[in-house]
Amino acid sequence: MAPVPYRVHRVVNENRDSSTLQLQPVRNALSAPQPGEFMMMYAFGIGEIAISVSAVPTASDPTISHTVRSVGAVSRALRGSGPGTVIGMRGPFGTSWGLTEAVGRDLVIVAGGVGLAPLRPVVHGVLADRTAYGKVTVIAGARSRDDFLFATEIQQWTHDETLDVHLTVDVPVQGWPGEVGLVTEPLRRLPLRPEQTTALLCGPEPMMRGAAIELIRKGLEATDIRVSLERNMQCGIGWCGHCQLGPLLLCRDGPVVGYDIAEPLLSVKEL
């Protein structure tokens, strides 16, 4: 439960309210997280929040990255941390996207807004071992062109012939080369091999629900669709109960769960 000190190595401002912090351990490093897992990040003297990992350590880059959107006191403090700032870290916690289980299958990755951050390590993992997977489709949506995270990387993905990338915005501007509308629009036109496809979804709950419904219409089983759920996580280990969603404690049983588990929970507004 005690936070381990990490130092901000580099800050990348992604858009008007989100930044990526690249962190290095001050002394001993925590266990390396898997794509989909999260860490508890502590802004000293302010508080602690759960933030998904947006890049996992590798042999060539030992830093761990978290993309933080400024929405409250703690996230605002974390996002405002400059190089050299020490942040407390606990974890990793939660469940992963299950990339190992998806080896040999096609992947459909659907992200809305800041939901691209937890899915970014999936794309990194796929590109690092591209022959292990079949067709890989990335569909990312944002309010406008300026709201996309990882803009430079996304451009690299669009030019990568091993990826099928679709970008869509709610509000177009002159010169926007992508699509306009919901992420379900390119998903609706996407040809799939449902029996060979695993789908990974992250974003606002209505977006994930709409995308999952479209995938099921195309023949995917709910067990082959994985979603990342968000609730108020405070302890990270299932003690405090703040992240309860129906029978789940998301810091322990999530955040990534199969849509067969998530669907009945997401359909209840009170939850």
Residues annotated in a binding site for [2Fe-2S] cluster: 235, 240, 243, 251
Instruction: Answer for the pair 104, 134: CB distance below 8 angstroms, yes or no.
Output: yes
Distance from C-alpha of 14 to C-alpha of 170, rounded to nearest angstrom = 18
Q: Are 186 and 137 in contact (CB under 8 A)?
A: no
CB 110 within 8 A of CB 139: yes
Which segments are annotated as binding site? 235, 240, 243, 251
Cβ–Cβ under 8 Å, residues 6 and 26:
yes
Which DSSP letter does residue 30 get?
A: P
- Between CA 219 and CA 24 the distance in angstroms is 43
Distance spanning both ends of the chain, measured CA to CA: 28
β-sheet bridge partners, residue 89: 4, 41
Query: Residue 9 carries which side chain, given as an amino acid letter?
Result: H
Phi, psi of 50 (to 5 degrees): -90, 130
